[in-house]
Amino acid sequence: MKSERYRKVKLATMAKLREKIKSQVSALTGLAHHSEFVNEDVFIVGHPKSGTTWFQNLVAGVIYGVDPEYAPYALIRDLVPGHVQKYYKRYGTPTFFKSHHPPRPQYRRVIYLIRDGRDVMVSYFHHLRAGREKDIEFLNVVQGKDVPWPYKWHEHVEAWLSNPYQAQMLVIKYEDLKRDAVKELRRFCDFVGVARDEAFLQHVAQKASFENLRKKEISSGIAYPNWSTEQLFMRRGQIGSHKDEMPDDVLEVFMRDAGDTLRKLGYL
């Protein structure tokens, strides 16, 4: 009995303390807790390694007018925060967040990034290897095992394409963005309702090219707290890297799950 009451008091105290910390952080830094967002906010969502970091740079350029070639990653991440970051600053409404989450009812406006799942797997495998999961097996990665985000690629994609909570949604393919970034940025601008001229979009796209983002990473880092500096986050950034980087047996296992989705999206 007594210990039950003690537990309750302790929980209540902890909750109060958390609230107190939240308000103190906001008062002293001007940042907001990540649970505080509004319907106008836009979420840039995709399975990891589908181009979300690239798109963060593009949004920072198009919306906030920073030069993606020079704007340090730390700034990019402040302007377009990841939705796992505890605190962020609301520089404007809408705020643009990056997220790898499956569909959530609170996400009302979504840019969904899609990339050929086979390339995603190659990239994901290298990404995890470079990070904390040094011993991870490629075969496990394609089956969604031992990965930080507990779902398979096709599940993420199918879940979002079915759009269960009727978010306003714009789908952008990595490959289209790669081939004609300006065209996709134009679609993005129309979707979020901002006016930017062709030359400006061209300029931003060029500044946020893979080579420039890679150079920036080399000169000033990627500013991900968990990223080891031994490998580059910007690894290859190509279409079709699965062709020379995905062993047949791994591909076969992946295709059993993802084949239908890839076909539906025109990748096969």
Query: Under the rule (CB under 8 A), what is the footprint of other proteins?
Result: 21, 24-31, 63-67, 69-72, 74-75, 78-79, 86-87, 89, 91-92, 220, 225
Residue 30 vs 150, nearer CB to other proteins: 30
Output the smallest distance, CB 93 to other proteins, in A. 11
Question: CB of residue 126 vs other proteins: minimum separation in angstroms?
Answer: 26
CB of 81 or CB of 103, closer to other proteins: 81
Shortest Cβ distance from residue 63 to other proteins (Å)? 7
Measure the CA–CA gap between 122 and 143, rounded to whole angstroms.
13
- In angstroms, rounded to a whole number, what is the distance separating the alpha carbons of residues 36 and 160? 22
Instruction: State the DSSP string of 70-90.
Output: TS-HHHHHHHS-BTTSSEE--
The residue among 190 and 260 lying less far from other proteins, judged by its C-beta, is: 190
Q: Which is nearer to other proteins, 61 or 103 (CB)?
A: 61
Report helix angle 117-130 to 153-162, nearest 10. Answer: 120
CB of 182 to other proteins, least distance (A): 17
Q: Please say whether the beta carbons of 147 and 206 come within 8 A.
A: no
CA-nearest of 225, 213, 221 to 85 is 225
Alpha helix segments (H runs only) across the chain: 2-29, 52-64, 73-79, 117-130, 138-142, 153-162, 174-179, 181-192, 198-207, 210-220, 242-245, 248-264
| Shortest distance, position 142 Cβ to other proteins, whole Å | 33
Nearer to other proteins, 112 or 227 (CB): 227
